[in-house]
Every structure is written in structure tokens, then in C-alpha cells.
Structure 1
Amino acid sequence: MRGVQGSGYEIGYTVGDNRSESFMFVVNPEIQVKKWEYVYILAYEDLILGRVEDLVSRSDLLNDRIDYNSVRKYSENRMNDNVDLCVVRIIGSVKDGKISRSRYLIRPGQPVYRAGKDVLENILKFDDDRSLFLGHLADQPDVKVFANINGLRRHLAIIAQTGAGKSHTAGVIMEELLKKGASIIVLDPHADYVLMKNSQNQIYRDSIRVFRTPMSTGRYTDKLGKVDEFTIRFQDLNYEEVCDIMGIHENYVNQSNVVKKIMEELHGRKDVDEFIEKSESVDVEHRITARIKYLRRIRNIFGSRTTDIGEYLAPARMSVIDLSGLDQSLANYFAYRVISQVYDAKTAGSFEYPVFLFIEEAHNFAPPEKNRGGGASKMLYDLVKKIAAEGRKFGIFLAIITQRPGKIDQDVLSQCNSQIILRITNPVDQKAILESSENMSASLMEDLPSLDIGEAIIIGEIVKMPTIAKIRQRETEEGGVDVDITELLKKAREEAEKMRDPSAIKDRTRKLLE
């Protein structure tokens, strides 16, 4: 153990009452210790690793009953008896880079050492084939943090409030998985990941494809170049699928029967325009008429062909399904269609490689039962829940991304045995995280509001111990970044200045009308 001891240096001695899960030590007055730092003590052949969770500076002389002038006098004369203490939460007993529960008695008077880079990286690392490089320790930039790819077998949740860095973090994990040759499907309701295909790195440029429905908003179109269309041929749908798209609940038997009858009368021709024309010519109740009007409004989602699964599911391929611009019921249908085809391919054994399914805004795709609709919404939820419970058996692994863990189904969230949690300040969401995770302690929960942008608490099977990390920079281009209000307002002022010219007003009006 002498080699281990030499990797850190003594910063204090244990004092007071120490327990199996925590200890306290008095700090060398010449040493500065920060919250979240890692320290250790030596016990026989093991290293007992802990994390500083609280700092206390105590003085019997300068207590809270003394007046201001006395404190000033004592301080100016350097009369101070303060004692600096650290409270440490024990992570475990470390041997050969593995962590197990510590069962050692920690006595007062034992030297405490600061855990150096070699000690921590020996614990945090995995072999190259399993390692996903995520970043570095939040307060120790020289210590790299890795995730264990095998930890993703029991699913991952990436949780953060808006603007804290969840999409950035998800992108980092996608990059790392692509380097390993992973097959990735991304459900992207706001086009946050479409720009990842614009990369100077050949790996990403060759491996990432973006699929858009004809009704997607086309965000970043000017930057993307060629994208692939994700379309469905109306003739390939059965009447249940048409009901799902039209938003007809499965319990509305009469409305469903109307759709079924119309499709039967078309004798397989079933072109969407023919269907709409036929449905408008029959005597139907008002509610089905409203559904037909909705179908007319969204008719552009249908194309001349149905996109084949082989186009978006392939080895070492990341397919971003851009669902931006679709209302939630339609997004649910497309999501269900993609996921169900992937699930069928995996369960049938026709695709042998592991598939990583990233679901952004997961609270909209797998909400609690009270917020769940019927049709495609229910089928989507049932399928996501099934994958969360059994997907690992077939090689489908979920990555749930959300800023509202309190509004996602807790059965789905609790199946994510690993979590990357960035800043969360909402008490309801904090409670949901605490209730869904066996690895999240109350003390870690207290740290959530104080995390900086891009800092994350990583817990579960993807790491050997709870880790607070600064997520690394992305290698691909990011979408969905916050609007620069100051710059846009400056631009608005400049345009307003130009608009004072009457001819400029006419040009502006013409462009808006176009």
C-alpha cells in the first residue's frame, strides 16, 4: 500500500465519532480542502475512499455569543482557536481498482490523504473496449471520467432542467457510441441533434443520417444539405393505423367502423385523397367529419413509398428521426412505427447488433397514465415500457432524456439503472429522481441546484461510484442552443433604423407576403 499512499498526501487526521458510512477529520491549517473532493484512509490492505460532503470551521473563542468589537480585536491580534473539519461520506473499500462496501472500523487519529490523479483514474477507468469518455471530475480537470458501455444494458436516463446541458450530454454519449460501432436511433422532436451530421470527423459524417417527415418544420435546412425523407404510403396502412393517425380512440367503435367500411369500399386502392373524397361523400356524424378535416390538414405526411427499416437501422449507423413540427399525437404515431419495427427486427433475430434508442422529451412519449391518450399514444407507451423491462434480453437499450422527470411514467424511469443528472431545481422533479433511483442519496440530491451548466452527477451501473463530472466538449455541431437575445435585439434595432425609409417598408411587406 506504500505505492498508493505516495500517490496522495496527508491532509488531516480522523477525529470524533466515525461510522461505517462516514467519518470526520480535522484539516491541516495549511491545506485548502473543497467540497466534493475525494480523500482516502488506509485500512490493512484496502484503501477506504470517501467524498467530502460538508466543511465546518469551528471556534470556541469566536463563538456566536461574542460581540463584534471583541471579534475584531481578537482577529486583529490573531487570537484564534478555529478548527477546520471535513465530513466525509464513505464510497467504499478499493482493491485492484474495484469498489466494495467498506466494513472496516475507522478509529480517530488515522491519517487522511487527498486522492490524487493516479488513485482516482485507477478507480474510474474501464478497459478501452468498454470505455465511453464523458469528461473530467468537476473540481479536478486532470482526472478523466469514463462510463462503462455495459452499464447501458439496463438503460440510462439523462435528466436536467432546460439549459443545463442534457442535449449536449446526450450528444457526447452518441459520439462515443458511434466510435464503438453502435446502431443508434434518435427520436428528435425539436431537431436538437440534426446538425451532428455536419462534422469534419469522417466517422460522424459517414455514420449519421437525418430523416424528416414531409411535415417536419425543416429547422436548420440551410445548414444540413441533403436529408432523407421518412414517409408512409397510405396504401400500406390498415384501418387501425388510419384511426390512430386520425386520432380516433379505440373505444369509439362507431367511428372506427366508419373508417373500416370506407377502406373496404375502396378495394385496396386507399389513396389518401380517394379516402378523404369517399369519406366526405358518405353520411357520417360530426365528430368523424372533424377527424376527416384533420386528415386533410396532415395529408402531406404521406408519400409515394414507405421508408424501409433497412434505411435507418444498420450497423455503425445513427439515424435521427426529426419529428419537429408534428403535433404530439402524430409524433407518437411515427415514434411508435419506428420503435415497433426495431423491436420486431430484434425479437425476430433479423438484426443481430445492439440498438441504442434515444428518446428526447421522453415525458411526452411516456407520460403517467392520467396524461396518456389512446391509440398510438397508448401503444407507444406500452412498447417503451416493455423495452424498459425486457429490452436488454433482445439487445435494445433505452436512453431517456427529459427535463421533467416528475411528468414521466415512474415505471419507465425506475427501469433506468444509470442516471446522468444535471442541474434540477424543481422540488417535484427532485422528488421523482430520488424515488426512482436506488443510487441517489439525499446528500447528492442537495448538490443538484448548485451544479454549473454542463456539470452532472453520474450514478448507477455505468460508473463504479457516484461521480460529479464536467461533461466534455462536443465533437459534433449542436442544435437547440439558447437564443442570443442581446444579439437579436441589436439586429432588430438596426433593421428598425432601416425601416424608417418608406421604400424599405414596401420591400419588407413584399418579402413577408411571399
Structure 2
Amino acid sequence: MAANLDADPSSAPPTAPSPGLTHLESPDGRSFVARGPVQEQPVPGDYLEIEGEDGVLAFVEDVAGDGGTGDGAGFSASGTLVPVGGAGRSSRPADAPWHDAVVRPTRPDAVQRLLSGSDPELYLGQLAGQDDVGVALVPNRLNRHTFWCGQSGSGKTYALGVLLERILLTTRLPMLVLDPNSDFVRLHEQAGEAEPGQARALREREVVVLRPNDPASPLRVRFTDMNARAKAAVLRLDPVVDRAEYNALLRLFDSDFNAVEAEKIVPYLRSLGDPDAEALAQRLENLGVVEWRTTWAFGGASATDVIARRPAATVLDLGGYDRHEEQLTVALAVLDDLWERRAERRPLLIVVDEAHNLCPPDPETPLGVAVRDRLIQIAAEGRKYGLWLLLSTQRPSKVHAGIVSQCDNLTLMRMNSRDDLAQLASVFGFVPQGLLAQAARFRQGEALLAGGFVPMPSVVRVRSRITPQGGTDVPVPMP
């Protein structure tokens, strides 16, 4: 019988694979399975190049041993076929199947077309194992919430500093950094090794650092500006259990009480001759709230005034407070103000470092509950108003699950906890399991990036910072 010269080669039955080579099968042109000898075995995150095809790469997500042969001499890899685009655009239909295609480790230039973008300033680092391939930030996808995690010593805070620098250099997205460990208080400075061009570009961006004990740029909020629920949380008032005092608080702040100077609040309450006002005065004295001299603006400028101007970055040094209640109070005042202004729809990236301190699953105080609930609301509804969260933590399981589940971008550094990795796998289903499983073996400074803010899920070695890190480990004394 004569051969059918018009037959589609892609629909031809598979032939026996050539020994010693890796062969790929794809029934739908999207997913694939590749099998080959053990000496050619890739790892999750690798790319394979299809022989004779410049416009498509095979992204390896999972790898198993023996390739189904049962003799331990081969491997089986599965993953996704990814169009590269650019000059190497494929002429095949996107859903055309592949039969017995020969694949091999790809060339760096092919991966670079996919991951690197056009501007080296956007690079967060280099692809692990391929120093010539930069992994670029996709800045217009920062309009999604981001979860940033890694255990102590993984380089999490350093890497987060790199991201903040890239945002400052390559976008006009304003940032608010809630900094409980004073790690980003030097974001307005340049390290000695910074390139002149980068240092100049960074100097042109307005970075404001507010600190509790800084007379020039104090970190303060106004109690009178806080809403009734926030005031009650500061004073540990329950609207039902403490209904008389709570009602007195509402009545007082509907009057001219806001004009009373802070140091005269307690005498003023006692002068009213009202037993509920007297009880409120006793509560203020017992809690020592009026004595928080580095928390209250006392009629002066508030952090909310600075943030409303939208500098390029505003860093709140929460680590400068002696009491956790003061940290929570400032965070609540700022977050509430942003939410009340949400209709303005002015974009802002809200960076919450050590997020387990501000949004744990079960806060112990009314202040903690109020801060957590506001963050839950921003996570659920803030995106449409331009309020985007970036939450950083050592322990994902210590952050409220309702907030983590709203995140579309993930950065994962070394993580040994099986419970935390299992939680991340359940929440971030778009991240290949094979890549998540590598996290326990990451070196310091290596990170898995996944989600819309990078072109493809990638394991990267984070680039060097151009600003000094505010906090570093205390070295062991040596002779």
C-alpha cells in the first residue's frame, strides 16, 4: 500500500524509543511525561529542550525513579510544556500532541528568553544551577497578596530586602513596611558596594523611616483619630461585659473631649462627677495608657499623615517600642486609617514582617484581635482598593489561615517543618509538589518563587542587596 504523504506526523503511532536518550510524550500539547536513562535524570525546576523545536520548553515539575521499567535504570519526569515566545516562537498548534520527541537539557539562552525579561534591574536573582539566567520580577503582578516565608537562618529577611529594593528601583508602587525587628530601618541608605547608577536611582526615591525615639521623624499616632472599636481595644473594653464604661467612652468622644490635652485626660474624667467616667479614668491609670509617651502624637503629626502623602516607602520601626501593646496600637491605627481611606483607591503595598506577631490564628488580647481582623479584611477585600499585602514569617502555621489563603504569590526559602510544608502545599496548589519538596535542602539565600510576580515557578539564588540590612545575627565571640 502506498504511503499517505498528507498524514499529520504528530498523529503517527509512536515508534520504539532510541536507547540512551530521553523521550517525551504529550497527549494534549500542555502536560508531558518524559522517560530516559538515569544518567540524564533532571530535577524539579529543570527545563528540557525538544529536538527541532525552539519555541517550546518542557518544565519539569516531578521526577520518579526507574521510568516504569522496574529495573532502577531510568527515570520518569512529568510537567508542563511552556511556550518561550520571541524569536523562537513555535509554529505548532498549542494543543498538538507530541509522540516520542527527543529531549535534552536546555541551553541557557532558551531559558533566559522565558525567565529574564528585558531589564536586569528586575532580576531577583539567578536561576539555581544556571548562573547566566536571571529570574525577573513581573512588577504589574504585585497587585496580588504575597506570602514570604523561610525558617530562621534561611536568608528570608535579606531576600525580602532585595525585593523591596527592586520595587523601589523599577516601579512607582508606594510601600508601607511594618518592621518589628528594625530590619529595614536602613532602606534609605546605600551599601558601599552599590553600583553608582543604582545608588543614584535609590537616592531619588523618598524613603521615610519613623522611629519611636527619633525627635526628627517620630513614630506616633493620635488616640483621638482612632475609631470607637480601636479605642475600646486599646483600653480592653468589651461592649457587653464593660457596657457602662464602653458607653461612657462613646459619649465622651462625641463631645468636646477630643480637645482635652493628653496629660489632663484623667483629671478631666474625674471632674465630670460621673461614676462611669471615674471608672474609665481608673482604667486609664491602671493600664498606664496615657504614659505611652512614644506612642501618642499628643496633637502632633501622626504616622497616618506621612503615609497619606505616599512616599516611595514608609518604614515604621515597631521594634523601638518596649511593649507589644504599643506595636499593636500603632499597627491598628495605621491599618484602620488605610481602610477608612480605601475609596481613594491609591495603590499601596503593605509589608508585614514577622506577620505571626500581628495576625496569629488566636490573638490573646482585644488589640491583637482587632489588628488580626483588620488584616483579614484587607486580605479578603483590599485588592480591589489597591491595598496589597506582603506577609513575611518564619512559621506559616502561626499566621491566620484565612489570610494565607488569599495570597497568590509565594516565596519559600529553607523550611524543615513538615507541617508547615504540608500547609503550604494545601494552600498554594499551583506550586509543583516536586519544587516544594526541595525546600528542606535549600542553601542560605536560595528561594522558590511562584505565582504571577515571576514568569515561571523558579528556584533562585537571591542577588546581593544594595542597602544595608538593619538587623544581623550576633556573632559568637572568638579568642
Name the TM-score, length of structure 1 as normaliser: 0.74
1:278 is displaced (CA, Å) by: 4.9
Per-residue Cα deviation, 1:311-362 (whole angstroms, up to 9, x for no partner): 234455211011113533332221122223233334235x4xx211101111
1:221-236 correspondence to structure 2 within 5 Å: 228-234=217-223
Q: Which residue of structure 1 lines up, in the alignment, with residue 202 of structure 2?
A: 204
Structure 1 residue corresponding to 2:162, chosen from 172, 179, 193:
172
Give distance in 2, aligned partners of 1:230 and 1:391: 25
1:208 is displaced (CA, Å) by: 1.4
Q: Which residue of structure 1 lines up, in the alignment, with residue 82 of structure 2?
A: 93
1:327 is aligned to 2:294:
no
Structure 1 residue corresponding to 2:358, chosen from 354, 365, 378:
365
Aligned to 1:140, the other structure's residue is in SS state coil
Q: Which residue of structure 2 lines up, in the alignment, with residue 6 of structure 1?
A: none
1:413 is aligned to 2:379:
no
1:461 is displaced (CA, Å) by: 1.1
* Residue 259 to residue 344, structure 1, CA distance change in 2 (3 Å): closer
Aligned to 1:154, the other structure's residue is in SS state coil
1:15 is displaced (CA, Å) by: 5.5
CA contact (8 A) 2:149 2:413 kept: yes
1:189-268 correspondence to structure 2 within 5 Å: 189-199=180-190, 201-205=199-203, 206-214=205-213, 228-234=217-223, 241-251=230-240, 252-257=242-247, 259=249, 267-268=257-258
Q: Which residue of structure 2 lines up, in the alignment, with residue 298 of structure 1?
A: 292
Aligned to 2:373, the other structure's residue is in SS state helix
* Residue 404 to residue 334, structure 1, CA distance change in 2 (3 Å): same
* Residue 255 to residue 428, structure 1, CA distance change in 2 (3 Å): farther
1:14 is displaced (CA, Å) by: 2.8
1:403 is displaced (CA, Å) by: 1.2
User: Number of matched residues?
Assistant: 438
Q: Which residue of structure 2 lines up, in the alignment, with residue 51 of structure 1?
A: 60
Per-residue Cα deviation, 1:115-136 (whole angstroms, up to 9, x for no partner): 112111111133549x732000
Per-residue Cα deviation, 1:261-303 (whole angstroms, up to 9, x for no partner): 7778984443222223456788679998465232254244223
Give distance in 1, aligned partners of 2:310 and 2:279: 48
Partner AA of 2:234 in structure 1 = I
Partner AA of 1:358 in structure 2 = V
Of 204-213 and 401-410, deviating more is 204-213
1:137 is aligned to 2:145:
no
* Residue 448 to residue 260, structure 1, CA distance change in 2 (3 Å): same
1:447 is displaced (CA, Å) by: 0.7
1:270-285 correspondence to structure 2 within 5 Å: 270-278=260-268
1:466 is aligned to 2:457:
yes
Per-residue Cα deviation, 1:6-54 (whole angstroms, up to 9, x for no partner): xxxx996235998844322126x6x796675322224878524133754
Detail structure 1 runs of 4+ shifted over 6 Å in the superposition.
16-19, 31-35, 98-102, 261-266, 280-288
Q: Which residue of structure 1 lines up, in the alignment, with residue 414 of structure 2?
A: 423
Partner AA of 1:330 in structure 2 = E
Structure 2 residue corresponding to 1:154, chosen from 141, 144, 154:
144
CA contact (8 A) 1:372 1:378 kept: yes
1:87 is displaced (CA, Å) by: 3.6
Per-residue Cα deviation, 1:52-98 (whole angstroms, up to 9, x for no partner): 7548589x9xx9xxxxxxxxxxxxxxxxxx94x34433232324169
Aligned to 1:448, the other structure's residue is in SS state helix
Partner AA of 1:298 in structure 2 = W
* Residue 55 to residue 257, structure 1, CA distance change in 2 (3 Å): closer
Structure 2 residue corresponding to 1:318, chosen from 289, 295, 313:
313
CA contact (8 A) 1:175 1:475 kept: yes
Aligned to 1:40, the other structure's residue is in SS state strand
Of 117-126 and 93-102, deviating more is 93-102
How much identity, in percent, do the aligned residues show? 22
1:373 is displaced (CA, Å) by: 4.0
Partner AA of 1:307 in structure 2 = S
Give distance in 1, aligned partners of 2:54 and 2:257: 79
Give distance in 2, aligned partners of 1:405 and 1:473: 25
* Residue 238 to residue 439, structure 1, CA distance change in 2 (3 Å): closer
Q: Which residue of structure 2 lines up, in the alignment, with residue 307 of structure 1?
A: 302
CA contact (8 A) 2:32 2:79 kept: yes
CA contact (8 A) 1:137 1:468 kept: yes
1:421 is displaced (CA, Å) by: 0.6
Name the TM-score, length of structure 2 as normaliser: 0.79
* Residue 106 to residue 238, structure 1, CA distance change in 2 (3 Å): closer
Partner AA of 2:49 in structure 1 = Y
1:337-486 correspondence to structure 2 within 5 Å: 337-349=333-345, 351=346, 354-368=347-361, 370-371=362-363, 373-374=365-366, 376-486=367-477
* Residue 478 to residue 101, structure 1, CA distance change in 2 (3 Å): farther
Per-residue Cα deviation, 1:461-480 (whole angstroms, up to 9, x for no partner): 11232111111111100022
CA contact (8 A) 2:181 2:318 kept: yes
Aligned to 1:182, the other structure's residue is in SS state coil
Q: Which residue of structure 2 lines up, in the alignment, with residue 117 of structure 1?
A: 108
CA contact (8 A) 1:156 1:399 kept: yes
* Residue 135 to residue 48, structure 1, CA distance change in 2 (3 Å): closer
Aligned to 1:462, the other structure's residue is in SS state coil
Give distance in 2, aligned partners of 1:242 and 1:316: 28
Of 330-339 and 48-57, deviating more is 48-57
CA contact (8 A) 1:52 1:86 kept: no
CA contact (8 A) 1:160 1:166 kept: yes
Partner AA of 1:134 in structure 2 = L
Partner AA of 2:182 in structure 1 = A
CA contact (8 A) 1:362 1:400 kept: yes
Structure 2 residue runs of 5 or longer lacking an equivalent are 1-17, 192-198
Aligned to 1:142, the other structure's residue is in SS state coil
